[in-house]
């Protein structure tokens, strides 16, 4: 989807540039320190570097993956939290930790860069800064022997504390550039990052900690033992992601049925979905709620297929309320027959109900659909006029908080015309 009012334009900002710049400077300083002092425990460094590189080679491409290289992340955390190797103390410092992880991650990312994966620089920057943060928290005290007498629950709690702080750091590093790039509120973005880390990131952190503990007892032979399960998990997740992508493509194809049949203008459902998701983000909806909202927005007009005579330009917002509700109920019935999540059908069915009785997603679909219909053919200034009309509508027609969220989203793009196709 092209950038427009429905989707804030991605633009370079000081924050988005600062993260990779800081990561690059940190990696160069760490490399210079290692070149000056030499590489400690070279076999250990090479083993963990190879693990991180393999993990990056096997990473999932694209920007949508929550943690695209779980094996690389687990290996990097394990090297950071490594206190002993087969009973012998591990004494690599912060600089060597950052150097090994950065060099291995960069090496493993070469094929992805060659294929034009634009997410690689941001991914590498986050990896370097997150590992540096964890290393600063753990390595100096570990090398000084502060934790030598820690064992059992105390040492486990120590590792959990370091991993929790590292996860929070990674979430901030993900949310801050997204906030600067899109203008979406920082709080909801951070909460969404933390929610998303409950799954795969928790498994990665646990695997990294267990790897470090296993190597401390069994030596480097413990690494391949723990690599295999994580690689199999990554393969299963990749298949799951492919199924989800196919599922979404099926919904998008169903949504286009009204366009192909001539009931709605081309791109209408896609524009409503894009703008609706942006409004949902502004209101702080979770990832699962945004998915339901997106699917419902894509299919919100599917009930029009039951009409004998198409509504002119598919503009259902101008119909009598009773007719809007009939179309919405028919659309919900169609959605239920497709096997899509029942929550999507509920949103489609209730988009024409009084706004106080609607779920938040239905309120958003109703407001955004009305805005898109009113602004679509209004020409220059149509967006402003449509927004003002929504604000002045009778109480109960449109949820005021959603209209204001829409105004904020539009203000980050352009108010001079309808959503871009």
pLDDT of residue 326: 80
Nearest to 58 by CA among 270, 233, 242: 233
Taking residues 117-128, report their average pLDDT.
82
What does the block give as tokens for 237? 């997740």
**Which residues does residue 85 pair with via DSSP β-bridges, in sequence order?**
88
CA-based torsion, 260, 261, 262, 265: positive or negative: negative
**Cα angle: 299, vertex 304, 310; to 5 degrees:** 140
3-state SS class at 413: coil
Burial 137-163 (b: 16+ CB within 10 A, else e): bbbeebbeeebeeeeeeeeeebbeebb
The model's pLDDT over 16-30, given as tens digits with 9 standing for 90+, comes to 678 888 889 999 999
Query: Could you read off the pLDDT of 194-215 as tens digits, one per residue?
Result: 877 776 778 788 888 888 888 9
Alpha-carbon gap, residue 357 to 67, rounded angstroms: 38
Tokens of 285: 């909806």
Q: Which residue's entry shows tokens 């509700």? A: 325
| Residue 301 · residue 264 · CB < 8 Å | yes
CB 297 within 8 A of CB 280: no
pLDDT band at 418, cuts 50/70/90? very low
Q: What's the CA gap between 368 and 275, in Å, rounded?
A: 7
Measured CA to CA, the distance from residue 78 to residue 229 in angstroms comes to 16
Report the pLDDT value the prediction gives residue 61, as an integer from 0 to 100: 59
φ, ψ for residue 101, nearest 5 deg: -65, -45
Residue ranges of domains in the chain, CATH in brackets: 14-245 (no CATH), 256-411 (1.10.3210.10)
Q: Could you tell me the CA-to-CA distances from 212 to 86, 90, 126 in Å, in that order?
A: 11, 11, 21
pLDDT at 380: 62
What are the pLDDT digits (tens) for 367-402? 888 888 777 766 666 678 778 878 877 666 788 888
The structure's pTM equals 0.71
Chain segment 223-248, per-residue pLDDT in tens:
888 777 777 777 776 777 677 777 77
Q: What is the pLDDT of residues 287-327, one digit of tens each?
A: 788 888 988 888 888 877 776 666 666 566 667 777 778 88
What pLDDT sits at residue 42? Answer: 92
Residue 318, both tokens: 């101008």
- How many other C-beta atoms lie within 10 A of the C-beta of residue 377? 11
Tokens 């600063």 found at? 136
Helices (H), 320-399: 321-338, 342-349, 360-376, 382-392
Type and span of the H or E element at 75: helix 70-80
- pLDDT of 65 above 60: no
Average pLDDT score, the chain: 80
pLDDT at 3 > cutoff 80: no
Pairing of strands 88-89, 84-85: antiparallel
CB 350 within 8 A of CB 362: yes
| Other CB atoms within 10 A of residue 60 CB | 18
Closest CA to 38 of 91, 83, 78: 91
Q: Which two tokens stand for residue 290?
A: 């945004």
- Are the CB atoms for 302 and 278 separated by under 8 Å? no
Q: CA 129 to CA 172: how far, in whole Å?
A: 11
Beta bridge partners of 89: 84
User: How many whole angstroms separate alpha carbon 94 and alpha carbon 134?
Assistant: 9
CA-to-CA separations, 137 to 143, 166, 172, 308, 417, in angstroms, rounded:
12, 9, 17, 68, 51
Length of the chain: 421
Among candidate residues 49, 1, 124, the one with its CA nearest the CA of residue 420 = 1
């Amino acid at each position: 989807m092209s950038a427009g009012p429905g989707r804030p334009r991605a633009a370079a900002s000081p924050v988005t540039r600062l993260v990779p710049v800081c990561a690059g400077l940190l990696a160069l300083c760490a490399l210079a320190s290692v070149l000056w002092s030499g590489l400690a425990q070279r076999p250990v460094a090479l083993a963990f570097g190879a693990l991180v590189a393999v993990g990056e080679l096997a990473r999932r491409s694209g920007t949508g993956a929550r943690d695209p290289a779980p094996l690389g992340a687990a290996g990097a955390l394990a090297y950071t939290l490594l206190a002993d190797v087969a009973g012998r103390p591990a004494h690599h410092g912060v600089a060597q930790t950052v150097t090994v992880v950065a060099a291995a991650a960069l090496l493993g990312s070469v094929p992805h860069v060659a294929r034009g994966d634009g997410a690689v620089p941001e991914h590498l920057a986050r990896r370097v800064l997150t590992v540096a943060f964890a290393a600063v928290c753990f390595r100096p005290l570990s090398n000084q022997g502060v934790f030598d007498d820690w064992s059992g629950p105390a040492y486990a709690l120590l590792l959990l504390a370091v991993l929790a702080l590292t996860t929070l750091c990674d979430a901030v590093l993900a949310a801050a550039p997204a906030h600067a790039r899109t203008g979406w509120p920082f709080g909801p973005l951070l909460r969404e990052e933390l929610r998303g880390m409950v799954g795969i990131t928790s498994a990665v952190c646990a695997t990294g900690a267990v790897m470090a503990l296993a190597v401390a007892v069994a030596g480097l032979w413990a690494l391949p033992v723990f690599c295999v399960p994580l690689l199999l998990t990554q393969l299963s997740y990749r298949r799951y992601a492919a199924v989800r992508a196919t599922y979404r493509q099926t919904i998008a194809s169903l949504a286009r049925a009204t366009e192909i049949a001539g009931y709605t203008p081309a791109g209408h459902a896609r524009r409503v979905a894009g703008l609706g998701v942006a409004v949902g983000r502004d209101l702080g909806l979770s990832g699962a709620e945004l998915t339901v909202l997106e699917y419902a927005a894509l299919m919100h007009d599917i009930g029009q297929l039951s009409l004998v005579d198409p509504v002119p330009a598919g503009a259902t917002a101008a119909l009598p309320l009773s007719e809007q509700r009939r179309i919405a109920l028919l659309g919900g019935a169609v959605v239920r027959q497709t096997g899509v999540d029942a929550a999507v059908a509920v949103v489609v069915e209730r988009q024409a109900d009084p706004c106080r009785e609607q779920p938040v997603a239905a309120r958003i679909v109703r407001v955004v659909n009305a805005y898109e219909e009113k602004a679509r053919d209004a020409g220059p200034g149509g967006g402003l006029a449509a927004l003002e009309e929504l604000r002045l509508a009778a109480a109960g027609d449109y949820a005021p908080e959603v209209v204001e969220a829409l105004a904020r989203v539009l203000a980050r793009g352009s108010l001079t015309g309808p959503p871009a196709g």
